[in-house]
Amino acid sequence: MSRNFGTIFLNDNSILIHEFSALSRLNCFQKCISFDSSCQFLEFSPRKICSIYNSIRKQMIYDKRDFYYREKKLPRIHFLNGSFLDRSQLINLPVSLNLSRSRVNLIASYSFENCDKTETLDLSFNNLTKLYSNSFYGMLNLKTIFLSNNRISKLESDVFKGLNSLTSLGLINNNLSIIESEYFNGLIYLEKLNLNGCNVKEISLSSLPNLKILDLGSNYINFFSQNLSSLKELYLTNNPLKNLTYPLITSDNSKLETLGISNCQLKYIDFEILRNYPLQTLGIAANSYNFTNENFNGLKSLKRVIVDFIYVGRLSVLFPNISFNTSF
């Protein structure tokens, strides 16, 4: 390499590090991810040949004055080994795209702009810490996203903008302390949201008119009251609610059929509130509340209740039409 260049543009200086026959572009992606060195660019030719390139290493540049590295905010998916997939490479992807356990650590805005055929995207068990606005923009047919078991602590507004077909969103085991309603703007068809184990303390979900299943188990929520008219299943297990004296669902004609409030440190439960819902299944075990013989009167649709073992015998006799168990 000549020493005469004062400026080196790493974007335009690549060397071929691997080439092989592949059945699909996805095989190229998977191979790129497996490299410990920096897979900076790949090509998948019409002859189904995958070529993987590596940018010139910094130690090869000698005494050059300026270095222009690839900007992480460009539309690319980045991996812990320094490699990335450019937006131009993310085309003709399968209906179901699995990038779980791939060491992804950054998804820049508009990275998936050309992925309008993908319906399921699995990004679970990666190293994401932040989701930027328009991260999934362009995925017009996306129905399901799995983002569980990352380290996500911040969601920018409009992060899910344009996902008009999304019905299921999984964010289990991340680090989101406050959930704002603006995060989910436009997700009018979202039916299932799982935020179990996300260290959530405050939450607002008024922008989800068709939400049917909500899992908020194992968080730090001490108050929950939302206008979710379509909600059928609500799981608040393992939250410090302590006293239930307010409506969980504020909308008229609630459709709530399943409620999980076990292990919520509950000392007082206003059963009049529960009678406003067409509950069929109720999980209420492992609390400090002492059940009376009248608690379940008026819960006409109730079929199954999860309680502590010491209550099973007595309550089963008092309410023979209800099945009392110790676990789901």
Per the structure, the complete domain to which residue 57 belongs is given by 1-70
Q: Which two tokens stand for residue 120?
A: 């399921």
* 8 Å CB contact between 255 and 231: yes
Asked if the model's pLDDT at residue 59 lies above 60, the reply is: no
Average of per-residue pLDDT values in the chain: 86
What CATH number corresponds to the domain at position 16?
A: 3.50.4
If one counts every other C-beta atom within 10 angstroms of the C-beta of residue 308, the result is 15
The total number of structural domains in the chain stands at: 2
Domain boundary, last residue among 26, 55, 70: 70
How far is 96 from 26, CA to CA, in rounded Å? 11
How far is 179 from 174, CA to CA, in rounded Å? 12
- Say if residue 150 is in the same domain as residue 31: no
How far is 151 from 130, CA to CA, in rounded Å? 8
- Say if residue 242 is in the same domain as residue 211: yes
- Say if residue 25 is in the same domain as residue 109: no
* 8 Å CB contact between 221 and 246: no
* Lowest-confidence region among 9-23, 37-51, 103-117, 245-259: 9-23
3-class DSSP state for residue 235?
Answer: strand
Specify the pLDDT at position 64: 40
- Say if residue 53 is in the same domain as residue 79: no
**Per residue in 138-158, pLDDT tens?**
999 999 999 999 999 999 988
**In terms of Cα–Cα distance, which of 303, 306, 299 is closest to 273?**
299
- Say if residue 109 is in the same domain as residue 185: yes
* 8 Å CB contact between 133 and 108: no
- Say if residue 4 is in the same domain as residue 94: no
What CATH number corresponds to the domain at position 108?
A: 3.80.10.10
**Per residue in 278-302, pLDDT tens?**
999 999 999 999 999 999 999 999 9
Decide which of 98 and 88 is more confident. 98
Specify the pLDDT at position 93: 83
How far is 86 from 103, CA to CA, in rounded Å? 16
* pLDDT-derived band at 82, boundaries 50, 70, 90: low
Q: What is the mean pLDDT of residues 110-139?
A: 93
Asked if the model's pLDDT at residue 319 lies above 90, the reply is: yes
Query: Whose structure tokens read 């805005």?
Result: 109
Q: Model pTM?
A: 0.79
- Say if residue 55 is in the same domain as residue 152: no
How far is 257 from 46, CA to CA, in rounded Å? 53
- Say if residue 235 is in the same domain as residue 110: yes
